[in-house]
Structure 1
């Protein structure tokens, strides 16, 4: 039998050390450094990306409101939601804040504007199986149900195509139960009759952000619970081109939320729980990131969504500090390119 002493002697001999030196050697120790401290360290593969830090632009509330779904209307007003209370806000160019729609049970998470001026809202409802898509007049009146609560969806975000139809994400499932997906509603859905939702990309684990390339031929989708970015090439509105789906990027940590695109085809993804925006090119390759102030010490991590103001490269990023004490803030940064053509502006 080989004794422990013999084993140590053999190891020491192989390493050119005396057995006594081997016994005295200290175990190596892990140590924290600046690149890995804090609640949301930037993954090593993304640390070398071009990086800027957004500037505070407007304080919406001293409370941690779950702000989402920002869009600009034709007057330049910024419209956005508060998910858990259901309110929908309007912020004018001179930064006057008002409430369009008071507290309700829609749980609105996404907004898109129709060319007729009506506001389309994706609502999570009861967060189980009774969400809806509704439209309303710009002043918050005349609410019409497009996708009814009885359809069983949890609509989270939506985007219009150039024909007047829209895609919406179904925020259902978990990391092991891919019951969500992306659906398309054809032009003409105005609430007078129930709209038909056609599946485009099913079997997703909590589908979240959705957007279109500038030419409308590529659909981008984030999968919240599995941390994936989907790039979908479209043959038509509801048909995927042959071999047209890829997963060009797998995110680290929590969690890809809403996304937007610009005129160069770049994709901006809000990293919920990380206080930053990750920027990818038209092929889904990471090229830059926008950080939010305070993220290193755990503030402003709930970065949910963003919007590029039409005709500019000004991006406005929405976040909240939840229970961290810094409330709900809109941040501002300049991005690579202008917002793509908006169907609602035509």
Structure 2
């Protein structure tokens, strides 16, 4: 999720003066070209599928995030800055290039979406309130799954990863607005009754995804342009933590993360409509980018969903020109770790 002022974002719900960081819309200057860096691998040019949204009059912006495929092959996408009454979750038929509202409310600033393997519901992170909300697959029956403080502090939940049993692992970007490394990774059991901090002192954690073997978590830290790896101990805790990848993005920053069946990481970039692709050993394999003039008015590629069992990938891209879906051929097949977050 990109960084943006929450006045335009949660003015949707609260008209507050808070600042939502971790999902920005400030205009970035010319970014250094990651594809030109040593070891950057090949360039993959994404193709426009469709424009989903225009900047909202009420908020002055649009910001697409959290693409995730449902059981029928429709793509759910959240619009973080959508005001009350306008679609906050869209259901997209990528073949017919049509979209319709799946859900809206009068409060949420939703930054990610993902289906639970436990109950089949779709879970949304509300960055502004700190809550996690779940919906029926058709977008109905909204429920507050989790609310309140975790070890003395309310979350700013950004992205979600589910383990195979349906427990949630949440990137908590707490502290970003103060410029302090107070971010956390929070584990919430699948019933929503117990929440524990697995890692703290992180620099605006944003993307979160399990590796292809569910042995550990990849965490992107937006304000340090790095990806950390948390090796899990198999008992609900962390065995070790280290910096795994340093992302050379120029003024672009690390946003959401997805992982394909081969263990490759797709690191979204805030500040440039592009994604950097690495293997599990940290080697830069490719840069996915919106080519040429098509990139005008587009500031960030926030996330990606790779079609389950296929290499067809759909990237959410936003900026003053609007919110778009772009497609490209991923390096590996889509799995749960590359379908939402």
Q: Confirm or deny a common fold (TM above 0.5).
A: yes
Shift of 1:305: 1.0
Bigger CA radius of gyration: 1
**What corresponds to 2:261 in structure 1?**
263
**What corresponds to 2:72 in structure 1?**
75
Shift of 1:103: 4.4
- Cα deviation 1:197-246 (Å, max 9, x = unaligned): 211121112110000111100200101112111112211253222x4433
Q: Does 1:55 align with 2:47?
A: yes
**What corresponds to 1:200 in structure 2?**
198
Shift of 1:284: 2.3
The answer (yes or no) to whether the contact 2:51–2:323 under 8 Å persists in 1 is: yes
- Partner SS state of residue 225, structure 1: helix
- Distance (Å, rounded) in 1 between the aligned partners of 2:206 and 2:248: 14
The answer (yes or no) to whether the contact 1:39–1:296 under 8 Å persists in 2 is: no
**What corresponds to 1:65 in structure 2?**
62
- Which residue among 148, 161, 164 is the counterpart of 1:162? 164
**What corresponds to 1:41 in structure 2?**
32
For structure 1, which runs of at least 5 residues remain unmatched after alignment? 1-37, 190-194
**What corresponds to 1:331 in structure 2?**
326
Alignment of 1:1-346 (within 5 A): 39-43=30-34, 44-46=36-38, 48-63=40-55, 64-85=61-82, 87-92=88-93, 93-115=95-117, 116-125=119-128, 130-149=129-148, 152-174=154-176, 176-189=179-192, 195-236=193-234, 238-241=236-239, 243-252=240-249, 253-294=251-292, 298-322=296-320, 326-341=321-336
Q: 1:48 to 1:121 in 2, by over 3 A?
A: closer
Q: 1:95 to 1:251 in 2, by over 3 A?
A: same
Q: 1:140 to 1:251 in 2, by over 3 A?
A: same
Q: 1:56 to 1:158 in 2, by over 3 A?
A: same
- Distance (Å, rounded) in 2 between the aligned partners of 1:309 and 1:237: 31
- Distance (Å, rounded) in 1 between the aligned partners of 2:134 and 2:295: 40
Deviates more, 1:302-311 or 1:58-67: 58-67
- Distance (Å, rounded) in 2 between the aligned partners of 1:248 and 1:342: 18
Shift of 1:49: 2.0
Aligned length: 295
- Distance (Å, rounded) in 2 between the aligned partners of 1:117 and 1:187: 12
TM-score in terms of structure 1 length: 0.79
- Partner SS state of residue 338, structure 1: coil
Q: 1:327 to 1:275 in 2, by over 3 A?
A: same
The answer (yes or no) to whether the contact 2:78–2:112 under 8 Å persists in 1 is: yes
- Partner SS state of residue 262, structure 2: coil
- Distance (Å, rounded) in 2 between the aligned partners of 1:300 and 1:343: 23
Q: 1:230 to 1:150 in 2, by over 3 A?
A: closer
Shift of 1:342: 6.5
- Partner SS state of residue 258, structure 1: strand
TM-score in terms of structure 2 length: 0.80
